[in-house]
Chain A
């Protein structure tokens, strides 16, 4: 994995999970309205925030993410009636476990955004990126030396977020 070179500013890698019906549309809206927001977030679209298996979050952190964003429809607005409440409960429990693991609570964020809230989505992402930047790199893999292997690692090349994926032997 290519680590951030010491002379380059730290660019956090954030994995974001959005739901198909609200928060992904909010991101879309931010895009079509040409709002600019920090490029540090890689969004993954799920059908619903209730689809978020905590495994995804653990895998993101284990694979080198500095922060994870979970977002969905506002409470009461879920396309699947009440699955975002399930996501909320998982978020609360997951956060407790991650804190026990030594991961700062600020590295995991829950964001409700409707399809009309492109501006809010962009603003909250900017805020989250700065919060994670202030926390510094998590570098879970390097914390454990060579002991984490076989996971797909997300890398930051030359201080710029990169889509390049590499598999560590």
Chain B
């Protein structure tokens, strides 16, 4: 009997998800023992044409990471959706846009200007990429950028979500084990649409720091202070996003003195991550005077960036208005 087929793809992402997969160490041998890897551009040579020739639903498990930044990303997402039985939005980019999704604060022209005219770019003729170019041999084309980065589920149907930037390796290993067990009939897969490889609570729930009453008179930034090693970072005025962030990472950042930046995405039941963060931060500000409140809020230098660092493309507003028509 042939082995079930496995695919992994990267769209608009950094490649960290692929490294996280390799970081499952010897468990990767289980992947090889139980799956036939048919498509994984970072690890093996394969062409889109090869995937197109496969039968529909012939790939058992597809881990798809990266957001939908251009039409090539969307094309491959649709192609792999058609060929795969289990489509997993793998990592923060595919789930909610992540760092590439921050591009949604700007429109395409602003993004291109930043890429092609800033001081670090040597571009004296002020050239811009063209999506098609005629040469004697024919027309060359490159993918066209979307006006906004989309999440995977804004383009295709997604079976499971696996958050994290990148997903923690122990979580990946657990998910791989679960899928293998399900294929062998000894375990059941969770219902469609479930978040896998993560907890159902918040980072605060996993954090071992001591929590007292949060009353904030001043927000500071992590680079300006040496945080107390025992006490909750938010209580010390350090903007820590653990409150609204899904658990699953064992509170790695707060446990070493760095604030949670929210890479595991919205906690269970949270519709809009940033809105939930606004709610939480505003609640703990210790002031009832509008002027003083504003003064305290000045300590949060970039609130939209603080609250939507990973979640902008997946949020209710999906981006800034400069992105419009």
Contacts and interface: CB of A to CB of B under 8 A. Distances in A.
Interface of A: 53-55, 57-59, 61-62, 75, 82, 85-86, 88-90, 92-94, 96-97, 100-103, 140, 142-145, 147-149, 151
22 contacts: A54-B275, A55-B272, A55-B316, A62-B318, A85-B288, A86-B282, A88-B288, A89-B282, A90-B279, A90-B283, A92-B290, A93-B278, A93-B282, A93-B297, A94-B275, A94-B278, A101-B304, A142-B325, A143-B324, A144-B148, A147-B148, A151-B316
A102 B321 contact: yes
Contacts of A57: 275
Given A58-B316, A143-B325, 16 more contacts: A53-B275, A54-B279, A58-B272, A61-B316, A82-B288, A89-B282, A89-B287, A92-B297, A93-B281, A100-B105, A100-B320, A101-B317, A102-B322, A145-B147, A145-B325, A149-B154
Secondary structure dominating the interface of A: helix
A102 B318 CA distance: 12
A100 B302 CA distance: 9
- Closest 7 interchain pairs by CB? A102-B321, A143-B324, A100-B304, A54-B275, A89-B282, A55-B275, A90-B282
Nearest to A82: B288
Given A89-B285, A92-B294, A93-B303, A147 B154 contact: yes
B319 interface: yes
Interface string B267-306: 0000110111011011101011010011001001011110
A97 B282 contact: no
B276 A97 contact: no
A118 to B, nearest CB: 25
Contacts, number: 109
A53 to B, nearest CB: 6
A144 B319 contact: yes
A8 B35 CA distance: 62
B83 interface: no
B323 interface: yes
B246 interface: no
B271 A59 contact: yes
Contacts of B70: none
Q: Name the residue in A61, A88, A89, A100 with the highest tally of chain B Cβ atoms < 10 Å from its Cβ.
A: A89
